A and B are shown apart, each in its own frame.
Chain A
């Protein structure tokens, strides 16, 4: 296996899928001549030409809708948002059009469109550029939502998203683009959507999370190990469909759960999972399900304030100790 960055893994996924299927094209702001705001599409314009790697004006609602309309009539667009924060302008087309077209038409139109871009806070980008929006998008039946946390998952999930006949929203980690990892070189390395992955095995407590936060969880788990506590770290990878079997399996094993997400607590995916666990596995629990999330405030700019608002390994360890009654 090659060791490449998360960014290169996404680039490989795009290039391989465009090579495989002439109906796949990439469209978004700065994806062509500029090689992508985060260089994910580097070299693709040169390789595939300007009908297949399309620079758009700054017009998110318009080109998101373009992707949806094109997908409904037989091509396979990949729509890049420079960040998911900007995609808020395009949510009408994702929620009102893409998510509902198959249902409204009683299955006459499929919707093989992929929306992708970075999610979550980077460093000191302040309130409008630091949002983790995957929980909100996952609220809508009709869309699929994946949040890869490693280079291998980035490649396998993006390839699966492009091949899927439903609208798939891929939330990449803005802070993960330089992360290196082993990635299979197989052209058909596709990770099925909706399958969680146990990133670390331990029997004392379950930490369930996704995306960039798996690294916070692994960091916390390493510290906990020094105290003799072994944590399962379950990476959801996909928020919709949600691998509820994998969640219930780890809960049954450890009986203690801490849920971690980068976004806000109000209506977040962790709230949904907590509800699901108490509905379906109440008798397995030895402690209340606890959550670690971003503070319920818009992200402040100042370094100290930002640190205070973000979820952290320290907060996670504190909550793990609470579910272990330590």
Chain B
């Protein structure tokens, strides 16, 4: 049996009531938390989280101005998860996630300009304007997308992990899903095969406690997601999703297991979203109150981390303010860049669907004549 005992809190005796908060995580001493991290890396993590926050705020503003269309799911509140876990990867490792993905894309190396241009549906977007908020891609950065069907990305990531094993590569496939995706068959089918074949898959469930407007405890018979790994004899862990360093450590442990042939890990990162499910959803509403959100704001991953760095003389308040000004400028500039980027050429309707034309010189049924 694999080690399934890593970092698990005691199983809850009773299920939480709908809308109630899970038990607060027990944080360790500053010394323990900071141990092993370089000063520069800590400052970079802070920078990345701040950029994530300011970028998303700018995206919200642009959405309100009608510059971004369709669905737009923001990551505000959850920054510690993607920033921490992706810091624990190497550039040639893969990342794939669902549709709340702007921060994952930036963290994996796509420029804020290319992400914002994609949100604006412009030619300079990382998917040429064909993907939008939910479908960012970058082959260069091993960023395998943004996927819009809940849970649908997990079997895809399983396939990438299979490829890594097939080609005997020293790489990790890190895939994310929301807690609501855990109820999909795709999640269970993938966990089973990943564990059966010991694939280098690290699945991070971002438990922000609501699948759209349905509280997790109203959707799951078992609250603790990490326990689902037991059914597949797979190691699992819980990460404090409001603590970037904990997310880093838990992810790193899983990556090391994956690289050393130890197979997949399921990580439950307990986090919270401070904004609505998408831009069309108010911050609070029928499924949670303003007070609920305010209460969770006390746990803001950015404030918590800034305080930790300040009291340990790693980043002063003044430096933080300078950093904030810089990432705000980058976010503003990304919106300007997107605004100035051209609309995709209408000729591109018929590009990139197939690799080749058919033998009659066509690729599309309606290209026989005038559409």
Write the residues of chain A forming the contact surface with B, with a CB cutoff of 8 angstroms.
Answer: 25, 51, 56-57, 59, 61-75, 77, 92-93, 96-97, 101-110, 141-142, 144, 164-166, 192-195, 240-245, 272, 276, 280
Contacts and interface: CB of A to CB of B under 8 A. Distances in A.
A3 B119 CA distance: 57
Contacts of B26: none
Given A104-B145, A166-B355, A73 B163 contact: yes
Contacts of A104: 127, 130-131, 135, 137, 145
A311 B190 CA distance: 40
Contacts of A64: 155
Q: Which of B154, B186, B352, B360 is most buried by chain A, counting CB atoms within 10 A of its CB?
A: B352
A105 B159 CA distance: 18
A103 B352 contact: yes
Contacts of A77: 159
B199 to A, nearest CB: 9
Interface residues of B, number: 50
B185 interface: yes
Interface in B123-177: 127-131, 135, 137-139, 144-145, 147-149, 152, 154-163, 166-167
A41 to B, nearest CB: 18
Nearest to B368: A244
A233 to B, nearest CB: 20
B135 A107 contact: no
B299 interface: no
B308 interface: no
A61 B186 contact: yes
B139 A109 contact: yes
Contact of A105 (B127, B358, B369): B127
A141 B364 contact: yes
Contact of B192 (A25, A62, A97, A193): A62
Given A25-B166, A102-B354, A97 B193 contact: no
Contacts of A194: 358-360
Nearest to A51: B166
B299 to A, nearest CB: 35
A280 B366 CA distance: 12
B33 to A, nearest CB: 35
15 contacts: A57-B189, A59-B192, A63-B189, A65-B159, A66-B159, A69-B155, A74-B163, A96-B149, A102-B353, A106-B129, A164-B355, A165-B355, A166-B355, A241-B359, A280-B368
Contacts of B360: 194, 241, 243-245
Contacts of B159: 65-73, 77
B362 interface: yes
Contacts of B157: 69
A165 B357 CA distance: 12
A77 to B, nearest CB: 8
A59 B145 contact: no
B137 A108 contact: yes
B193 A62 contact: yes
A105 B166 contact: no
A56 B162 CA distance: 13
B162 A66 contact: yes
A61 B155 CA distance: 8
Contacts of A109: 137, 139, 144
Nearest to B190: A62
Contact of B158 (A66, A71, A242): A66
Nearest to A193: B358
Given A51-B166, A276-B368, 12 more contacts: A62-B186, A63-B189, A65-B156, A66-B159, A69-B159, A69-B161, A69-B163, A96-B149, A106-B352, A166-B355, A243-B359, A244-B365
B156 A97 contact: yes
Contacts of A61: 155, 185-186, 189
A70 B162 contact: yes
Given A72-B144, A92-B152, A102 B355 contact: yes
B94 interface: yes
A199 to B, nearest CB: 18
A279 to B, nearest CB: 8
A308 to B, nearest CB: 33
Q: Enumerate the 5 nearest inter-chain pairs by beta-carbon distance, A residue then B residue, closest first.
A: A65-B155, A69-B159, A62-B189, A106-B128, A69-B156
